[in-house]
Amino acid sequence: MNRNVPIAAVRVGWKLTEAQRIDVVHRYIAGQSLTRLAAAFGVSRPAVAGLLRRRGIPIRPQTKLTEMQRRQAVERYTRGETSTRIAADFGVSGVAILDVLHRRGVAVRGRCTVRHDAFDQITPESAYWCGFLFADGNVYVRRNSNQQPVVSVGVAERDRNQLVKLRTFLGSTHKINEVSGSHPSCQLHVPSARLARRLYEFGRYEGPISPELVTSRHFWRGLVDGDGSIGCYPKRPGGAPSPQFRLCGERRMLSAFLSFLRTDGTTGANLSVRPHKSIHGIGTTGQTAVRIIELLYEDAAVALDRKASTARLIIAQYRRPRR
C-alpha cells in the first residue's frame, strides 16, 4: 500500500477511498494522532474520529504530557506504581506512559514477551498462521485499558495444542485461558499493535487480500484449518464414504481461494461460491476433494493436528497414481 500519496491525490470532495480509510485505521492503531492523520489525508479531525468510531476503534485521550509530568511518571513508576494508575492520574492512555518509559530506557515490569515482527516477512509458517487468524482470529482494542490492539484467537478445548503452536511461533509468553461451559474452549490474547497492523494490511477484514498470501497454499491451509472441513462421508444414507472438502466464509475470501485453485490447475470451473445462511461456502467431493486436500496438506510443516491426520488418511487411501 502506498503510504506517500500526495494530499491532492487523495482528497476527492473531502471523502476518502476505501483503501485510504483502511490506511487511516492502520496508522491510528500504530500510534499516529488524529491531527497528523487529518493533515496527511486532507480531511478534518472530526472526520477521522468519526471514521474510527464507526469501525469500532476507541479514540485515545488527546492530553499531552509536559516535561515535568514525564519526569514524574518515570519517578513514580520506578518507585513501584503501575503505568495504568499513572496514566489515569495524568489523563492519558497507558500507551503514552509506556512510550515515555521506553524512550527513557526504563525497563517495564511484568511484561509478557511477543515477537512483534512475526508477520513482517511472509514465510510458509507465517503465511499459515495468517490464514488461521483470518479464520478464527480477531483484532480488537480493549476498553478501559492502555488502548493496545490485541490479536485474539479461540479454539475448542480439543484443539488446545493449536494455540500452543501459535504461541510458540509468536514467541509469546501470554497465558492460554480455559473457558468452561457446554462447549469448553481455549483463548489466547496477544497485545501487539504491529501484529494487528499487519493483519489489517493483509486484508483480514476488508479490501483485497495480500498477493503474497493469495498465492500461498500454506495460507489457505491455515484458513481451512479454521473455517473448513475435510473427511469421508456417504453422499446419501447407506452409501459408500467419499472424500469431501468444505470451506465457509466471506465471498471475497472464497472467490480468492477458487482463483488460487484454478491457477494451480487443481480444479476446473465447476466449483462456485454459494450462499450458506449468513455467509458463503464452497464444497466438493471425490477426486476433486482429494486433489485439494493433497495440495494443501501433503508435506505440510504446520497444520491443525486432527485435520492433518485426516488428510494423510484420505491421500493414502484415495489418491490416484500419477501418470
Dig out the grid coordinates for 198 from the structure. Answer: 499487519
pLDDT at 3: 36
**Domain 215-318 bears CATH identifier 3.40.50.720:** no
Residue 282 makes CB contacts below 8 A (sequence gap 6+) with 246, 247, 254, 257, 258, 271, 272, 273, 274
The three cell numbers of residue 207 are 479490501
The three-class DSSP label of residue 8 is helix
Closest CA to 222 of 118, 116, 304: 304
Task: Name the least confident of 86-95, 220-229, 300-309.
Answer: 86-95
Domain ranges of the chain: 7-54, 67-103, 124-203, 215-318
Neighbours of 320 (CB within 10 A): 8
Intrachain domains 124-203 and 215-318 with the same fold: yes
Q: Is 259 helix (H, G, I), strand (E, B) or coil?
A: helix
Q: Is the pLDDT of residue 317 over 80?
A: yes
Summarize pLDDT for 101-151 with one digit per residue, the tens: 877 877 777 777 889 999 999 999 999 999 999 999 998 876 555 567 889
Determine the pLDDT at residue 180. 81
Question: For residue range 48-65, what is the model confidence (pLDDT) as tens digits?
Answer: 888 888 887 877 766 678
Q: How far apart are CA 221 and CA 303, in angstroms?
A: 7
Residue 41 pLDDT:
79
Q: For 64-101, write each residue's pLDDT tens digit.
A: 788 999 999 999 998 888 887 888 788 776 767 877 88
How many Å separate Cα 187 from the centre of its chain? 14
pLDDT in tens, 4-22: 333 233 333 347 888 788 8
pLDDT digits (tens, 9 = 90+) for 205-223: 888 899 999 999 999 999 9
**pLDDT of the residue at 238:** 82
Give the pTM. 0.70
Beta strand ranges found along 200-260 (DSSP E): 228-234, 241-249
DSSP 80-137: T--HHHHHHHHTS-HHHHHHHHHHTTPPPTTPPP--TTTTTS--HHHHHHHHHHHHHE
- Tell which wins on pLDDT, 169 or 15: 169
pLDDT of residue 323: 57
In total, the chain counts a number of residues equal to 323
**φ, ψ for residue 151 (rounded to 5)?**
-95, 120
Instruction: Quote the pLDDT of residue 14.
Output: 47
| Angstrom distance (rounded) from CA 212 to CA 121 | 10
> Which one-letter DSSP state was computed for residue 244?
E
State percent of the chain over pLDDT 70: 90
Q: Which CATH architecture has domain 124-203?
A: Roll (3.10)
Q: Could you tell me the sign of the dihedral formed by the alpha carbons of 36, 40, 46, 50, in that order? A: negative
pLDDT of res. 31? 67
Residue with more model confidence, 188 or 38: 188
